[in-house]
Chains A and B, each alone.
Chain A
Amino acid sequence: MTSGQLLFLLKGFEGTLVLSVLTFVFGGSLGFVVSLMKVSDRWWVRTVASTYISGLQGLPLLVLMGLAFYGPNIWGITLKPLVAAVLALMFYAAAYFAEIWQGCIKSVPKSQWEAAECLGMSRVQRMRLVILPQAVKISLPPTVGFMVQIVKNTSIASLIVGYAELAYNSKILNNSTFQPFLYFGLAALLYFVICYPLSVLSKKMESRLIQR
Chain B
Amino acid sequence: MNYTFDFSFLAEYRPMLMQGLLMTLQLSALSTLMGFVAGTGVAYLRVSNNRLFSIPAAIYVEFIRNTPLLIQAYFLIFGLASIGVDLPIMAGAVIALTINVSAYTAEIMRAGIESIHKGQIEAAHCLGLSKAQVFFRVVLAPATERVYPSLVSQYVLLMLATSILSAVGIDELFGIAARVQSITFRNFEVFIVLGVLYVALSFVVRGAFNLLGKLVFPRLRRLGTPL
* Chain A interface residues (CB < 8 Å from chain B): 55, 57-64, 66-67, 70-71, 73-75, 148, 152-153, 155-156, 158-159, 167, 170-171, 174, 178-181, 184-185, 187-188, 191-192, 195-196, 199
Task: Check A158–B160 contact: CB distance below 8 A.
Answer: no
Q: List 29 A-B contacts (CB under 8 A).
A: A58-B199, A59-B195, A60-B163, A60-B164, A60-B198, A62-B174, A63-B191, A66-B194, A67-B192, A73-B187, A74-B1, A74-B188, A75-B1, A148-B66, A152-B67, A152-B69, A153-B68, A155-B71, A167-B70, A171-B74, A180-B78, A181-B79, A181-B82, A185-B75, A188-B63, A191-B68, A192-B67, A195-B67, A196-B66
Q: How far is the CB of B156 from chain A (nearest CB, A)?
A: 8
Interface residues on B, range: 35 or more
Chain B: which residue is nearest A175 at the CB level? B78
Task: Check A199–B71 contact: CB distance below 8 A.
Answer: no
Which of B68, B81, B166 has its CB near the most chain A CB atoms (within 10 A)? B68
Task: Check A155–B70 contact: CB distance below 8 A.
Answer: yes
Which of B71, B81, B163, B202 has its CB near the most chain A CB atoms (within 10 A)? B71
Task: Check B79–A67 contact: CB distance below 8 A.
Answer: no
Contact partners of A159 in chain B: CB under 8 A: 70, 164, 167
Q: How far is the CB of A146 from chain B (nearest CB, A)?
A: 13
Task: Check B198–A59 contact: CB distance below 8 A.
Answer: yes
* Chain B interface residues (CB < 8 Å from chain A): 1, 3, 62-63, 65-72, 74-75, 78-79, 81-82, 160-161, 163-164, 166-167, 174, 187-188, 190-192, 194-195, 198-199, 201-203
Task: Check B191–A156 contact: CB distance below 8 A.
Answer: no
For the complex, what is the distance from the CA of A108 to the CA of B67, rounded to whole Å? 34
Task: Check B79–A74 contact: CB distance below 8 A.
Answer: no
Task: Check B3–A74 contact: CB distance below 8 A.
Answer: yes
Task: Check A199–B164 contact: CB distance below 8 A.
Answer: no
Task: Check A187–B78 contact: CB distance below 8 A.
Answer: no
Task: Check A184–B188 contact: CB distance below 8 A.
Answer: no
Task: Check B188–A152 contact: CB distance below 8 A.
Answer: no
Q: How far is the CB of B130 from chain A (nearest CB, A)?
A: 36
Task: Check B74–A195 contact: CB distance below 8 A.
Answer: no
Task: Check A192–B187 contact: CB distance below 8 A.
Answer: no
Contact partners of A185 in chain B: CB under 8 A: 75
Task: Check B71–A184 contact: CB distance below 8 A.
Answer: yes
For the complex, what is the distance from the CA of A177 to the CA of B190, rounded to whole Å? 34
Task: Check A62–B82 contact: CB distance below 8 A.
Answer: no
- CB within 8 Å for A180 and B79 given contacts A73-B187, A167-B71: yes
Contact partners of B202 in chain A: CB under 8 A: 57-58
Contact partners of A195 in chain B: CB under 8 A: 66-67
